[in-house]
Amino acid sequence: MSILKDKNILLGITAGIAAYKSASLVRLFIKAGANVKVVMTPASKEFVTPLTLSTLSKNPVYSSFVNEEDDNEIWNNHVDLGLWADLFVIAPATANTMAKMANGVCDNILLAVYLSAKCPIYFAPAMDLDMYMHNSTKTSFEKLTSYGNKLIPAGTGELASGLVGEGRMAEPEEIVAFIVNDILEQLPLRGKRVLITAGPTYEAIDPVRFIGNHSSGKMGFEIAKAAAKLGAEVILVTGPTHQKVSNNFIIVKPVVSAEDMYNEVHKHFNTSDIAILSAAVADYRPKNVATQKIKKKDTTLTIELEKTKDILKSLGDIKRDQFLVGFALETNNELEHAKGKLKSKNLDLIVLNSLQDKGAGFGVSTNKVTFITSSNDIIENELKSKADVAQDLMHLILKQTHA
């Protein structure tokens, strides 16, 4: 999954020959999972048609304040467009448009949106060599970047005039890569590794049967997604589950038993910065596992159980500077038991949920949790989707670690 997934991207197109590349740029943004709208200067329609861009983006294209072909003359609100956008990318950005942007000139809808936008703005210059090297163009670059706009450098190559040199608009793939890298560099967990456990464990009785629980793994998978959105490299160790994730920043390590999970977690803990253990690990397992299917003979069957290794405590015993988070699912004396686990297992934070709360626990898409920190701060939360709980958890971790 791309970091651009579900982003609202407004693509601004100005009147340069490089506008023919804008169609490919729209396709790449759509392929990355973004929502795309296009705003054009009136003159840019001579280089690429609004119909092409509308078809590719699956949205109307805006090139004037009023839809002149509409009998009702519907107003295109530039403020709404600016507020809709998570990113505003102007490609190509001609010398003319950049000069207007730099000096606050507002004589078309693209410039009005530019002056209204609150989101990050990227611009990809495109012009002939002499224009690109002119002092006035350099002044535009300096002004625009001083305002916080981000310059996507032009490339060197053959230009429309026949000259060879600087001024060629970056290729669509280069523009997308520049934006993705810029976003990633600003994410708070960029360069950090987060270890997460999810789902149940299955403890074999024989080759057919096992002891397990009702955990779906959804909470852990949502935490993994939330951590990845913040730029982290995520190692997701998961027991058997139907949950799926497709994200370049999440490496899934499937396991089955508590012993498998213990071993896999210990492989990655030393190189992790944050560990969040949300899996519902079996506390006990059959002491002796039958090699053949146990036949139904008697009216009762006795299975001797032994304790599994306490993964969370084992990490608390060896942690150095890792931030360690555990989960506590309780049915009585919830707060007291959670505080006890927080201390005895040397945790930095514990997430308490109770089976007494309707809509919380296994097999549902919601959760109601209480966060308890190592400094005894207690943060109660209302019933929320597990995706929202995951975001709340990651934001609290960021606050606690000052990441």
User: Rounded to an integer, what distance in angstroms lies between the CA atom of residue 160 and that of residue 141?
Assistant: 22
User: Rounded to an integer, what distance in angstroms lies between the CA atom of residue 102 and that of residue 117?
Assistant: 14
3-state SS class at 7? coil
Q: Which of 91, 99, 100, 104 is closest to 40 using CA atoms? A: 91
User: Rounded to an integer, what distance in angstroms lies between the CA atom of residue 32 and that of residue 374?
Assistant: 40
User: What radius of gyration, in Å, describes the C-alpha atoms of the chain?
Assistant: 28
3-state SS class at 13? strand
User: Rounded to an integer, what distance in angstroms lies between the CA atom of residue 201 and that of residue 311?
Assistant: 12
- Strand-by-strand arrangement of the 323-330 sheet: 250-254, 233-238, 193-198, 274-277, 323-330, 349-354, 369-373, 378-380
User: Rounded to an integer, what distance in angstroms lies between the CA atom of residue 190 and that of residue 205?
Assistant: 43
Question: Is 213 part of the annotated catalytic residue set?
Answer: yes
Question: Active-site residue among 96, 213, 263, 381?
Answer: 213
User: Rounded to an integer, what distance in angstroms lies between the CA atom of residue 104 and that of residue 101?
Assistant: 5
CA 96 to chain centre: 36
DSSP classification of residue 402? T
Output the CA torsion sign for 15, 20, 21, 25: positive
Torsion of CA 240, 242, 244, 249, to 10 degrees: -20
Spatial contact of 390 and 226, defined as CB atoms under 8 Å apart:
yes
Please identify every residue annotated as catalytic: 213
